[in-house]
Amino acid sequence: MNERFVNLSHRATRAGLALVAAVLLLTGAAWRGVVAQSPSTLAHAAPPVTTPITHAVAGGRDSYADVVQVVAPAVVTIRTEGTSKVSPTEFQGDDFFRRFFGDQFDGSPRQPRSFKQRALGSGVIVSGDGYLLTNHHVIDGADDIRVELTDGRTLTAKLVGSDQPSDLALLKINASDLHPLALGNSDAVQVGDVVLAVGNPLGIGQTVTMGIISAKGRSTGVGDDGYEDFLQTDAPINHGNSGGALVNTKGELVGINSQILSTSEGNIGIGFAIPANMARHVMDQLRQGGRVRRAQLGVTVQAVTSDMAASLGLEQVGGAIVASVASGSAADRAGIVQGDVVESFNGQPVHDTNSLRNHVAAAEPGSNATVTILRNGSEKTLTVKLDERSNRQ
C-alpha cells in the first residue's frame, strides 16, 4: 500500500498527505484623471457616441462543464487502511546499542511491531450494480476500503480481484442510484485529442484538469514485470489521482490514471493512464474468476535497432527480434527460431518488444494465434497454440 518510487517515476497515489491552501485577496482602486476645460471648450464639445451592445452568441460557451456533469458522479474517492509489520531491528544483541538504549537491544527474540497505514486514491464506477475500477497500488495491503461518492455517501467496498501486472483492481459496493461511466475505445484515441483527468489529488476534493493525449503505447518500466501500454497526457495528475478517470470530450472513459513522471513527486505535465481497452479486459476476467489469465509465447525478445534493421534488410525500424526460444514452448512447437523478427501477432503490428508482450497477454490461453515473422529476408506466417502464463512467471 506504500508508494513505490523508481528512478524519476512515481505512483500518483498519496499516502498520508495533507494540503493547506491559502487564498490572498487583492483589491485595488481604479482612479480616473479629470482634465479641467473652459466653458467655451465644453460648449463646442462633440456629443457622446453610444456604442451598441452586442449579445453573446447562443451556445458559444467555451467550456467542458457539460462533460464534467456527466463524469463527476462516476468518480469516487477511495480511502484505505491496513496493518504493516516491521521486523525487529538487526542491531538487537549489539553491546554498543544496549548501553545507550537499554535491554530492548539485549538480543532476546521480539515480535514484529505493527502499525496502521492509510492511503488515498480515486476510483471509477463502471456499472450500475456497483462495480468500480481503481489501481492495484491504491488498495494493495488494505484491510478496510471506503468509497466516498460525490453525493456525500460513504460505503464499504469489497475487493473482487486485483491484478498487480496491470496495476488494476476491481471493487464492489452495494448502493442504488449510481451513475456509471461508459468505457470508450482507447484504440481510437489519437495523439492531440483533448482529455480531462478527474480524481481527488492530495485529498483536497474532486478536481478536474484538462490536457491532451501526448503519446500512446508508453512503458515507464516502473511496474514489477508489469504490462504497460500507457496513454501519456499533460493533463495535471498528482498524488491521489491514482485510479481516477481520464475521459474524452464525449464523457467516455479512455483511461485509468496510474502514474506520474516527476523530479519532485508533483505534476510536471507527464502523466500516464492505463488504456480503457486493457482495463475492460482485466475487469471482465476479475469479475468472472477473480484473477487474470494470460497467454504465453515462450520467447525472449529484444528491440530492433536501426543497425539491426539495416543488416536484416528491413525497410523501417520496428518489430521484435527473437533472442531465445524456450524448449517445448508454444513458439518452439510452431517453429519460431532464434533470429526471427516478429512483425505482427494476430494481425496486429508489433512495434516493439512491449507491444508484442501486450498482444500475447491479451490473447486467450490455449487459443491459436497467427504470428508473422521475417526470416532470411522472407516473410512467413505461422500458427501458434498459446500456453498459459504462470502467475509466478
| Helical residues (DSSP H) of the chain, grouped into ranges | 39-43, 65-71, 95-101, 136-139, 276-289, 306-312, 330-334, 353-362
What b/e readout covers 42-55, taking b as 16+ CB neighbours within 10 angstroms?
Answer: eeeeeeeeeeeeee
Name the residues annotated as catalytic. Answer: 137, 167, 242
Q: Which residues contact 160 (CB under 8 A, 6 or more apart)?
A: 131, 170, 171, 172, 286, 287, 290
320 touches 304 (CB < 8 A):
yes
Angle of helix 276-289 relative to helix 353-362, nearest 10 degrees, comes to: 40
User: How far apart are alpha carbons 209 and 281 in whole angstroms?
Assistant: 27
CA-wise closest residue to 282 among 227, 224, 217, 348 = 227
- Quickly count: other Cβ atoms within 10 Å of residue 194's Cβ: 15
User: How far apart are alpha carbons 345 and 334 in whole angstroms?
Assistant: 13
CA-wise closest residue to 273 among 288, 289, 283, 261 = 261
Residue that the C-alpha cell 491521489 belongs to: 240
Q: Which residues contact 310 (CB under 8 A, 6 or more apart)?
A: none
Amino acid in position 166: S
Q: Is the dihedral of CA 94, 95, 100, 104 positive or negative?
A: positive
What are the grid coordinates assigned to 79, written together?
480511502
